[in-house]
Structures are given as C-alpha cells and as structure tokens.
C-alpha cells in the first residue's frame, strides 16, 4: 500500500511515498545506539499520541542556502511549520525542530496524566511505567532518530553520545534535559524540557554561541514551545492548541529593566558574602520574588515578562550543579536572542567552551543592568561597561 509520510503526526511536511514494508524497517532503532539506551526502548506507538510516520533516510536531502535573505516575514498566528519555513532555508533544521515539537506535545500529555509517587509512575490501569523523566528522555531520542538529521545526541539521563544515524555534513548534534524539575512533578509545579542544537557532530570543544537553535518546552497551565534560531532575531513562543497544533503567539526581542528576581541556591549566601549582599539588595529595593524551584519557568518568565533576573551562584560549600551543555548554554541562547544577557560572573555563558559533557557552572540571566549589578557585586567589575558586544548580538 502506498502512503504519504511525514516526520510529525499532523499536517504534511517533507512528503514522500513508501511501502508498508518500508515502514516496518524504518522504525527499527539504529544499531549504533548504545545498549544503555536501546535496552529501554519502547514502541513508538506507545509513546506518541499518534504513531510517527517516518520518511526513509534515502529520500531526504539537505537544503542549506548560504547568505540567503528571508523575504517572507514570520508573523504571530503562524503555525510552527509556517514559521520555520519562513525563518530558515535549512530543511534539515526545520525537520528536526518539527520532530522535537511533536515529542514535546506528547511529553506534555504524559506529564499531565502521570500518577507519580516518588519516581515510580503508574497509568490509570495500574500498569507500571517508566518514571516520567525517562519517558520524556525516550521520546526525545526517538524524535531525533526519526528526524534523520541528528548525528549525535545526549541527555542528562544518558550523558554519553548516542549515534542517531544522521549525517555529519548538513546534520546536527543535540543535547537536552528531558524533564527539568522532574522532582516537582508530583507537587504539580510547572516543569519543562530544554535542548540545544549544534551543527555537525561536536558537543564538546564548542560554545553556546555555536548553536543554530535552542528551545524549551514548558508544561504548566499552558503548554508552550519557546525557541530561537540563529538565522533570525528574537525568541519565539508557540502555544499548544486544543487540536494539537503549535501556534506562534509571542516574539521577544528586548529584555527591559524591572524589579523581578528569581534567586536559586540561596544556601550559598551562608558562605558567599557577595551573593548575600546581592540578595539583600533585592529585598531592600523591594524586588518582587518569583521563584518556583524549576529552572525552566523561572527563566521563561524573564522572556515572557521581558524583565527581571535569575541567579544560581556557587560558594565554597555549595558547588555548581547546573550543566553548561544541557541547561545553561541553551537557556543562555534563548535569553540573549530575546535581547537579554547572561553571565557566569565574568563572561557570557555563550562564550564558555564546553570541555566535557558534564561540565557545570554558576549562572545569571536577565536585563543588561541586572547582569552588570550581578557581575559588579560578585566580582567588582562588569565587562558590559567595557564595550564588549554581548546580548542580542548573538
């Protein structure tokens, strides 16, 4: 039987035709994926609300136009596919971002319907399931495999490079945190997915500024897909509609000043006097405290509200726990493309070379003046007063 196929379940994207026998072979996970990943593999139909229809790798061609001008303007109200088609000429990147959007849609459903006690989750029939963060992890690996444009991927749950079978030339490598804040799912707090996309086959020896795209999925009262692409300015929010489609609802191109703070790792104030001084400043100046304990919603509010600061600072007794590759660099890309700034205390986090997959760092995200205050308070001076180009000039 001949049938049209597509990377994602709704719409018609990169159509072609395959026989039913090709479907069965295309769904097999690549043999190069490590045993630690493949041993946990689940049927795609059990993970996605609708089975992914897979395009054979041989039918996909890289389309990357250098120095092309985008003549069609992205608009509020566009679907995700319409937006991406206008935003970049790179068909491989479009396909990858669409496949990740489909995974986020399904993760949102899994998060909403999981009944969790600790890390053990059961469905409505009482059947034992994977912990929700491992379900998210599996969904994202499968989406990247089905995109056919991901060469390597790794996650916080599987912190080793996994070969997804995509090309090196014209392909991408992706790092992700499948469910940031998974420990607060049972309290019904907002949680999210974070991922960064790098060109080629390298996830070490690169910087956050080398990313071609980054995004986060936010699972709260609304489900949103917030993304940024190197090809166009701004950070863009897509809302998941009732019918399962992503709709472009907001652009953010400037982070202004405003008294909103989200302070992480407050235990560091015990033996980091500079951080204690900074927190006392926020309180004394009557900043509004907005902190959930989930990095995704706490950083996302800076983009949505277009103001504020998020901090997570270290001290002699409280070491860095945020991972540069999986969390800090992708979120830094989103904030800086939105017109904000990031800092590890002395530099933009996008300029830090990722030396190893598990590298960790302290971080602050926010408006220009807030990052200047952060750097000056902790280290006595700020690079932003020295004319160094940062922020929106990603």
| pLDDT for residue 113 | 84
Strands (E), 73-187: 115-117, 120-122, 128-129, 150-155, 162-163, 172-180
3-class state of residue 206 by DSSP? strand
Please state, in angstroms and rounded to a whole number, the distance separating the CA atoms of residues 356 and 363.
17
Measured distance between the N- and C-terminal CA atoms of the chain, rounded to whole angstroms: 48
Q: For CA atoms 6, 73, 368, 389, give the dihedral sign.
A: positive
* SS3 (DSSP) at 300: helix
Rg (C-alpha) for the chain, rounded Å, is 21
Which tokens hold the place of 162? 């996994």
Residue 182: per-residue pLDDT = 80
Chunked into runs of 10 residues, the chain (394 residues) has average pLDDT values of 35 35 35 41 41 43 43 84 96 98 96 66 45 90 98 93 96 96 85 98 98 98 97 96 96 96 96 97 97 95 98 96 97 98 97 96 97 96 71 35
What is the reported pLDDT for 65?
A: 40
Residue 154: what are its φ and ψ, rounded to 5°? -150, 160
Residue 49, both tokens: 């609300």
Strands 162-163 and 172-180: unpaired
Global pTM reads: 0.81
Distance CA 372, CA 376 (A): 6
pLDDT recorded at residue 142: 97
pLDDT tens sequence across 41-66: 444 434 444 434 444 444 444 444 44
Render pLDDT for 193-247 as a digit per residue (tens, 0 to 9). Answer: 999 999 999 999 999 999 999 999 999 999 999 999 998 999 999 999 999 999 9
> What is the Cβ-side half-sphere exposure of residue 235, based on CA atoms within 13 angstroms?
33
Q: What percent of the chain has pLDDT over 90?
A: 69
Closest to 132 (Cα-Cα) out of 143, 117, 144, 154: 117
Distance CA 213, CA 90 (A): 12
Instruction: Name the one residue in this structure whose structure tokens are 């990052």.
Output: 371
224-228-230 Cα angle (round to 5): 165
Measuring CA to CA, which residue among 100, 313, 121 is closest to residue 226?
A: 100
Query: Which DSSP symbol is given to 52?
Result: P
Contact indicator for 99, 147 with CB cutoff of 8 Å: yes
The values of phi and psi at residue 213, to 5°, are -165, 155
pLDDT number for residue 130: 56
Summary mean pLDDT of the chain: 82
DSSP 84-98: HHHH-S-HHHHHHHH
Residue 387: what pLDDT?
55
**Residues 93-120: tens digit of each pLDDT:** 999 999 999 999 999 999 988 766 544 5
pLDDT of residue 385: 84
20 three-class SS = helix
Which pLDDT value is given to residue 115? Answer: 64
């Amino acid at each position: 039987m001949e049938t049209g196929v597509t990377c994602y379940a709704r719409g018609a994207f990169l159509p072609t035709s395959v026989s039913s026998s090709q479907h069965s072979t295309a769904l097999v996970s690549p043999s190069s994926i490590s045993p630690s990943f493949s041993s946990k593999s689940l049927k795609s139909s059990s993970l996605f609300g609708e089975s992914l229809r897979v395009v054979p790798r041989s039918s996909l061609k890289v389309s990357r136009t250098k120095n092309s001008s985008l003549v069609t303007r992205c608009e509020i109200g566009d679907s995700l596919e319409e937006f991406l088609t206008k935003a970049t000429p790179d068909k491989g990147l479009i396909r990858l971002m669409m496949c990740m959007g489909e995974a986020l849609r399904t993760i949102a459903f899994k998060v909403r319907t999981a009944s969790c006690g600790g890390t053990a989750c059961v469905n409505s029939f009482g059947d034992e399931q994977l912990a929700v963060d491992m379900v998210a992890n599996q969904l994202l690996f499968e989406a990247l495999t089905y995109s056919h444009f991901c060469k390597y991927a790794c996650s916080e749950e599987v912190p080793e490079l996994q070969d997804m079978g995509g090309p090196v030339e014209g392909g991408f490598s992706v790092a992700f945190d499948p469910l940031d804040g998974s420990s607060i799912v049972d309290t019904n707090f907002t949680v999210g997915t974070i991922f960064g996309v790098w060109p080629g086959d390298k996830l070490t020896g690169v910087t956050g500024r080398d990313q071609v795209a980054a995004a986060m999925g936010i699972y709260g009262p609304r489900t949103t897909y917030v993304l940024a692409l190197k090809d166009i300015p701004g950070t863009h929010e897509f809302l998941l509609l009732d019918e399962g489609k992503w709709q472009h609802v907001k652009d953010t191109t400037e982070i202004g000043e405003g008294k909103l703070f989200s302070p992480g790792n407050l235990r560091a104030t015990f033996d980091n006097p500079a951080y204690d001084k900074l927190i006392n400043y926020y309180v004394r100046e009557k900043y509004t405290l907005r902190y959930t304990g989930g990095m995704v919603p706490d950083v996302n509010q800076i983009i949505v509200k277009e103001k504020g600061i998020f901090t997570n600072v270290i001290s002699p007794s409280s070491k860095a726990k945020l991972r540069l590759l999986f969390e800090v660099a992708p979120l830094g890309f989103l904030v800086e493309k939105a017109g904000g700034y990031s800092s590890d205390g002395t530099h933009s986090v996008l300029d830090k070379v990722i030396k190893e997959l598990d590298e960790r760092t302290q971080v602050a995200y926010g408006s220009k003046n807030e990052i200047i205050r952060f750097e000056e308070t902790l280290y006595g001076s700020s690079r932003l007063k020295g004319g160094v180009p940062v922020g929106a000039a990603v």
